[in-house]
Amino acid sequence: MEALMRILTELRPDVDFEGNKELVDGGELDSFDIVSLVGELCEEYDIEIGADDIVPENFNSVEAIWNLVQKLQED
Amino acid sequence: MAFTSFRFVIFLAFAVAAYFLTPKRCRWVTLFVANYVFYLISGGKFFVYLLATTVTTYVATVRLGNMAAKNKEAFTKAKETLDKEGKKAWKADFTRKKRRVLIPALLFNFGILAVLKYSAFVTGNLNLLFAKLGIGTELPLFRFLLPLGISFYTFQSMGYLIDVYREKVEPERNFAKLALFISFFPQIVQGPIGRFNALAEQLYRPNEFSYERMKFGIQLMLWGAFKKMVIADRVAVMVDTIFGFPETFGGCYVAVAALGYCIQIYGDFSGGIDIAAGAAQIFGITLEKNFERPYLATSIPDFWRRWHITLGAWFRDYVFYPLSLSKFFMKLGKKGRKFLGNYVGKLLPVLIPQFIVFFLIGIWHGAEWKYIAFGVYNGSLIVLGILFEQPLQNLAKKLSIRMDCFSWRLFQVLRTLVLVALGKIITRAPGVGASAYMMRSMVENWDTDIFFQGGLLTLGLDHKDLWIFFLSCCVLLTVSLMQEKGIAVREALAKQNLYFRWVIYICAVFSLILFGMYGLQYDASDFIYRGF
Amino acid sequence: MKIMLKCIAFVTVFSMLFSHTTNLLMRHDDEANEIHAFYSEPKDSIDVLYVGSSPLLRGVSPMLMWQEHGFTGYVRASALQAPVVSYGLLSESLRHQNPSLVVLLCDNIFLEYDYAEREGDLRRGLDGMKMSPEKLHIMQKVTEEDPRQSMLSYAFPLMRYHDRWKEIDLAEEEPEPLLEHSFKKGNVYLRENAPQAYQAHFMEPTGEAAPAFQEEARGYIEKSIALCKEKEIPVLLLHLPKMAWSYAQSMALQSFAEENGAMYLDLDLAENRAQLGLDPQMDYYEQGHMNLTGTVKVSRWLGNWLDERYDLPDHRNDPAYAENWNIDWAEYAQRTGLSEN
């Protein structure tokens, strides 16, 4: 979780991630951010995130991203 | 059947009446029948293409669905015996199997689109190439008439196919229901491109009749017709004149034409979408947003998030993400970082797919070099925008430019508008050469006759028309600014007094009747005594 | 229920505005006005009904015949009236009127009608016409012949004239209200005079054949005659004086009339011309039409001729007619200057 926060703040220092539940729907993260983020996550957690995982629900909040990472790690 | 034709109004009225008179259980069937009647009336024999797409989509998705169900069962059984690697291998194997279904269906449907849309372009250019190389063969030129809405329904059904492949949605096993989803008549002509998970349920459920919804729907249709008939079709006269004779008009004429074309295409396209959305709303169906005041965008990426949103979203979800997240580009990103530094390297897996997407969006618009140029232009703007974002921000800081004020926002909007307008010249001019010529003449030749020598009046619109155009653009701008501020215009109107509302409705209808561009133009000389 | 009432109220307000705007912008001239003021004539009050092209407008004065013989008449004619329009107007008229005689001017049986070129002429008869099966039939025919036209624009003429706000200055020009009652009874006379001369051997048998009939025109004229027969109304095919006419054409129409059991009267035939006493120097507006003095000569002679041959009533002492028609005659006589002689 800490590593995730670090990645996120490095990626977009201007966004307040805590408590934000509309990161994608609210337009904070655009598709470029998502791709960069996915690249970092894959490396950090040794997982594979495919295009089919890229839905707003998986990226709308820090918790959602964290859940996605955990789900993929379990698989 | 054009949206602004009387026939469409009649058709819609019958379809709505039939829909709400059918027992609830079968309402979707009525809608399905209405779609096919609509397609047969306006698309004629081309409906076999629509049918082919529907059938292949149906077969492929049902097959994918069956496979997924079986796989799930088998996987649960085998789960215990598999280790992590084994699970991975199982998954990979299953994906391969699914692809054997997915890829032929994709190839078939996009193949139809490609052959119909691009074969004349490809053979024509091959012939040019052969001639240059001195090869004597000449390929026959196939020019196909395009089936109505093929670019839209192909994308909509292929999006659904990929969603089923990704196991995001369950396949629809009722063929007629699937056919209904692919052919919903308000959106088949020019979009918006619908998503199965957002649209299908709305089409299948029995919607209740609602007076409010019907009122709002009709209002939205009127608004769309206003944008199309009063604004777009009027300014089109002027735009056509200038673009029709690129050699004659230079300087400010080109600038006026480019701006005019921006307004024309927005009024035309978003007007059509509003009519579609309004018609759907009467049935109780909400279509996805396709435009969000694009000319108030502050940057080119922002513009593309506001213009033809459903097409952009389609390419983002089904082309951009798969490409940029593919192993190839992920590796490229890693390598890039080693050789090109962190900043650029990290962007590589984004920039190249983005460029490809714009290239595809370009040729989606049509099979001509100018659309390819248009795609490359937009792709380049976005790439340059990203590459220079950091340096420019540093520069602005050094010059201590404030960025949180209205004037800066206005500057951004105008800058974006200019860039967009240049792009529109590319798509509207007869060819790439002509647009280059026009852009050059805009810079080199400051012909200001259009403003000072009455040149504006020589382009096919008289001063009364220009006034109507100007005033209706003011109305459009006012409404857009209200929406941008978050005011829901129709809801706000509904809260007003009955009398005020009626005045507005009557003005709206009469402005369409009187100021809309339709029918034969009235020319008094057709009516003078010509032989007693 | 409240919603229903609201909708009805809205539609009513809207329709009123719509028809008002139509009247403002629709182009109507005196020919169109005369054709449609016919609607205000009381039921079964017209004795002789004239339908056809413009020579009728200029050449036949029902008012004069009223004054001299006491039978009533109405001319529903317009410039280059298409055969389909004439047939429609006749059929429409016969639903409201039961005349003792129908007079058709069918010179255009020789003319190929170019619908695409004749929009103005078509709309003169059609724009103000009430919606009816006849009108629908004409609309269908016209839109078939000229695909640029739409049924909608004939049903709601505002759709055609919607951008005339550019042409007329609504602030300055008081729009002419639609004519509701005609004192001319369709006789749009003209005063100007253009001296004419008969060509050599005018109306002499030359042995040349007449041009062929146009099938479509012939069809509609035959239908018109058949319709009158069905209603047991005698039909007179009339030709009024004009310079471009020939003996062969006259004979062709003569035998056409005989075949169809109708009467034919040609005012250009030598013996009729002699009785009419027309002066080519004085009585023509131009080569195809009478002016007012010609109209008076033609109408006096024709009135006598009709009165002698047909069983036409004299309403001059019938209070149901006399009052209105005498008021109209007074106005007609004063405007034309006929009261002075």
Q: What is the three-state SS of B131-192?
A: HHHCCCCCCCCCCCCCCCCHHHHHHHHHHHHHHHHCCCCCCCCCHHHHHHHHHCHHHHCCCC
pLDDT for res B531: 40
- pLDDT at C94 (0 to 100): 94
| B183 within 8 A of B42, measured Cβ to Cβ | no
Interface probe with B: pick from C114, C162, C190, most Cβ of B within 10 Å:
C162
- Confidence class for position B226, pLDDT limits 50, 70, 90: very high
- Residues of chain C in contact with residue B509, where contact means CB-CB under 8 angstroms, are 14
CA distance C151 to B6: 10
Please enumerate in sequence order all residues whose Cβ is within 8 A of that of B64, keeping only pairs 6 or more positions apart, or say none. Answer: B98, B101, B102, B161, B164, B165, B171
Cβ contact, residue pair B528, C79, below 8 Å: no
Instruction: Collapse the DSSP code of B487 into the 3-class scheme (helix H, G, I; strand E, B; otherwise coil) and give the result.
Output: coil
Beta-carbon pairs below 8 A across chains B and C: 74
In whole angstroms, give the CA distance from residue A48 to residue B330.
11
Closest by alpha carbon to C305, among C264, C248, C251, C335? C264
Percent of chain C with pLDDT over 90: 52
Q: Pick from A35, A42, A55: which is nearest to B350 by CB?
A: A35
CB contact under 8 A, A52 and B167: yes
Q: Are strands C289-290 and C48-52 parallel, antiparallel or unpaired?
A: unpaired
Residue pair C266/C250 in contact by the 8 Å Cβ criterion: yes
Interchain CB contacts (distance < 8 Å): A and B: 43
pLDDT at B527 over 70: no
Model pLDDT, residue B438: 86
Strands C101-105 and C73-77: unpaired
- The model's pLDDT over C121-167, given as tens digits with 9 standing for 90+, comes to 888 889 889 999 999 999 999 999 988 888 888 999 898 888 888 87
Cβ B35 vs Cβ B183: under 8 Å: yes
- Chains in contact with B, counting 3 or more C-beta pairs less than 8 Å apart as contact: A, C
CA distance B364 to chain A (A): 21
Per-residue confidence (pLDDT) for residue B37, from 0 to 100:
93
Give the closest residue to C40 by CA, choosing from C87, C93, C79. Answer: C93
Of the candidates C117, C150, C163, the beta carbon closest to that of B521 is on C163
Q: Is-contact B212 B458, C-beta < 8 A?
A: no
The whole-angstrom distance between B108's CA and the closest CA on chain A is: 22
Phi-psi region of B177 (alpha: psi -120 to 50; beta: other; left: phi over 0): alpha
3 state DSSP class of C316: coil
pLDDT digits (tens, 9 = 90+) for B302-322: 898 899 999 999 999 999 988
Measured between beta carbons, the chain C residues lying within 8 angstroms of B462 are: 166
C105 within some domain = yes
Average pLDDT over residues B36-57: 90
State which H helix or E strand residue C101 sits in: strand C101-105
Of B462, B505, B531, the CB nearest to C166: B462
In single-letter form, the type of residue at position B115 comes to: V
Q: Give the minimum alpha-carbon distance from B194 to chain A in angstroms, rounded to a whole number.
A: 16
CATH number at residue C154: 3.40.50.1110
Contact A51 B166 (CB under 8 A): yes
Instruction: Determine whether the interchain pair C27/B513 forms a contact, defined as Cβ–Cβ distance below 8 Å.
Output: no
For residue B532, what pLDDT is reported? 41
Residue C162 belongs to domain spanning: 23-340
Which chain C residues touch B519 with a CB distance below 8 Å?
Answer: 150, 153, 159-160, 162
- Please say whether the beta carbons of B262 and B308 come within 8 A: no
Whether C and B touch, i.e. at least 3 CB pairs below 8 A, reads as yes
Query: CB of B172 within 8 A of CB of B291?
Result: no
The two three-digit tokens of residue B341, written as one number: 């530094």
Q: Is residue C12 part of a domain?
A: no
Q: Could B333 and A39 be called an inter-chain contact, meaning their C-beta atoms sit closer than 8 Å?
A: yes
Residue of B nearest to C153 (CA): B519
Angstroms from B166 CA to nearest CA on chain A = 6
Percentage of residues of chain C with pLDDT beyond 70: 96
The pLDDT tens digits of the residues spanning B83-132 come to 878 888 888 889 899 999 999 999 999 999 888 888 888 888 888 888 88
368-397 of B, contacting A, C-beta below 8 A: 386
pLDDT at B528 over 70: no
Residues of A with CB under 8 A from a CB of B: 27, 30-32, 34-36, 38-39, 42, 49-52, 54-55, 75
Quick one: DSSP state of residue B230? Answer: I
- The alpha carbon of residue B406 and the mean position of all alpha carbons in its chain are separated, in whole angstroms, by 30
CB contact B86 to A (< 8 Å): no
- Answer whether residue B13 shows pLDDT above 90: yes
Which candidate, C129, C41, C42, places its Cα nearest to that of C85?
Answer: C129
pLDDT digits (tens, 9 = 90+) for C166-208: 877 665 556 566 778 889 899 988 888 889 888 888 888 888 8
The rounded distance, in Å, linking the Cα atoms of B229 and B511 is 10
Neighbours of chain A (3+ CB pairs under 8 A): B
Is B519 close to C153, i.e. CB distance below 8 A? yes
Nearest chain C alpha carbon to B506: C14
Q: Please indicate if any CB of chain C lies within 8 Å of the CB of B399.
A: no
Average pLDDT, chain C: 89
Interface test with B, best of A29, A33, A35, A58 (most B CBs within 10 A): A35
Q: Are B350 and A54 a contacting pair at CB < 8 A? A: no
Residue B145, chain C, CB below 8 Å: the answer is no
d(CA C92, CA C88): 6
Q: Which of C243, C78, C303 is nearest to C295 (CA)?
A: C303
- Count Cβ atoms within 10 A of the Cβ of residue B133 and give its class: 0-12 exposed, 13-18 middle, 19 or more buried: exposed
| Per-residue pLDDT, B524 | 58
Minimal Cβ distance to A38: which of B301, B305, B325: B325
Tell me how crowded residue B481 is: count the other CB atoms within 10 A of its CB: 12
Residue B473 CA to residue B461 CA, distance in Å, equals 15
Q: What is the ipTM of this complex?
A: 0.87
CA distance B500 to chain C (A): 13
Residue B507 has pLDDT above 70, yes or no: yes
Contact (CB, 8 A) for C128 and C232: no
Which of the two residues, C47 and A11, has the higher pLDDT score? C47
Mutation for A interface: B325, B330, B337, B357, most A CBs within 10 A: B325
The predicted-structure confidence for B264-307, as pLDDT tens digits, reads as follows 999 999 999 999 999 999 999 999 999 999 999 988 888 988 99
Instruction: Evaluate whether C233 touches C286 at the Cβ level (below 8 Å).
Output: no
Task: Tell me which of B191-200, B358-367, C65-74 is least confident.
Answer: B358-367
Query: For B461-475, what is each residue's pLDDT tens digit?
Result: 888 889 999 999 999
Tokens representing B195?
A: 């998503």
Secondary structure of residue C198 in the 3-state scheme: coil
Among C199, C236, C228, which residue's Cα sits nearest to residue C50?
C236
User: Which residues in chain B touch residue C284, judged by CB atoms under 8 angstroms apart?
Assistant: none
State whether residue B156 sits within 8 Å of chain A by CB: no
Chain B interface, best mutation among C123, C148, C163, by max B CB count within 10 A: C163
pLDDT at B529: 46
Inter-residue contact B113 to B105 (CB < 8 Å):
no
Contact between chains at A54 and B330 (C-beta distance less than 8 A): no
pLDDT of residue C260: 93
pLDDT recorded at residue B108: 95
Q: Do C164 and B522 touch (CB under 8 A)?
A: yes
Nearest to B522 among C58, C80, C163 (CB): C163
The answer to the question of residue C18 being in a domain is no
C-beta atoms of B527 and C27 within 8 A = yes
Structural domain contains residue C170: yes
Contact indicator for B350, A32 with CB cutoff of 8 Å: yes
Where do the H-state alpha helices sit in chain A? 2-11, 31-45, 56-59, 62-74
DSSP label of B46:
G
| Ranges B138-142, B247-251, B489-493: which has the least confidence | B138-142
Nearest to B514 among C58, C165, C286 (CB): C165
Of A30, A50, A55, the CB nearest to B325: A50
Which of the residue ranges B330-334, B397-401, C74-78, C138-142 would you say has the lowest mean pLDDT? B330-334
pLDDT digits (tens, 9 = 90+) for C220-273: 999 999 999 999 999 999 999 998 898 999 999 999 999 999 999 999 998 898
Q: C175: closest CA among C23, C62, C12? A: C23
What is the C-alpha separation between B263 and B236, in angstroms, rounded?
Answer: 9
CA dist C148 and C261 (Å) reads 39
Q: Mean pLDDT across the stretch B180-202?
A: 91
Contact C131, C151 (CB under 8 A): no
pLDDT surpassing 50 at residue B50? yes
Contact residues, chain B, for A44 at CB < 8 Å: none
Specify the CATH number for A2-13+22-74; select among 3.40.50.10800, 1.10.10.10, 1.10.1200.10, 3.40.50.10260.
1.10.1200.10
Domain range summary for chain B, segments of one domain joined by +: 6-208, 210-287+421-517, 297-401
Total number of residues shown for chain A:
75
**What pLDDT does B390 receive?**
78
Q: CA B41, CA B130: separation in Å to the nearest integer?
A: 42
Cα dist. B315→B149, B362, C339 in Å?
A: 18, 12, 86
Other CB atoms within 10 Å distance of the CB of residue B99: 12
Residue B44 at interface with chain A, using a CB cutoff of 8 Å: no
Do B379 and B423 meet the contact criterion of CB atoms below 8 Å apart?
A: no
Residue C93 half-sphere exposure, CB side, CA atoms within 13 Å?
Answer: 35
A53: exposed, middle or buried (Cβ count in 10 Å: 0-12, 13-18, 19+): middle
Q: Count up the domains in chain C and report the number.
A: 1
**Chain C residues whose beta carbon lies within 8 Å of the beta carbon of residue B502:** 10, 13
Residue C45 included in any domain: yes
Interchain contact, A39 vs B301, CB within 8 Å: no
The shortest CB-CB distance from A35 to any of B317, B324, B386 is to B324
C289-290 and C284-286 strand pairing: antiparallel
Per CB-CB distance under 8 Å, the chain B contacts of A52 are: 166-168
Q: What pLDDT, in 10s, does the model give residues B339-352?
A: 776 677 777 788 88
Closest Cα to residue B183, out of B199, B207, B165, B171?
B199
Q: What's the average model confidence in pLDDT over B483-507?
A: 89
Tell me the HSE value of B445 on the side-chain side, using a 13 A CA sphere: 15
Distance CA B18, CA B45 (A): 25
C269 in a domain, yes or no? yes
The share of chain B scoring above pLDDT 90, in percent, equals 43
Rg (chain A; Cα; Å) = 11
Chains that touch C (3 or more CB pairs under 8 A): B
Rounded to a whole number of angstroms, the distance from the CA of B9 to the nearest CA of chain A is: 36
CB contact under 8 A, C27 and B530: no
Is A65's pLDDT higher than 50?
yes
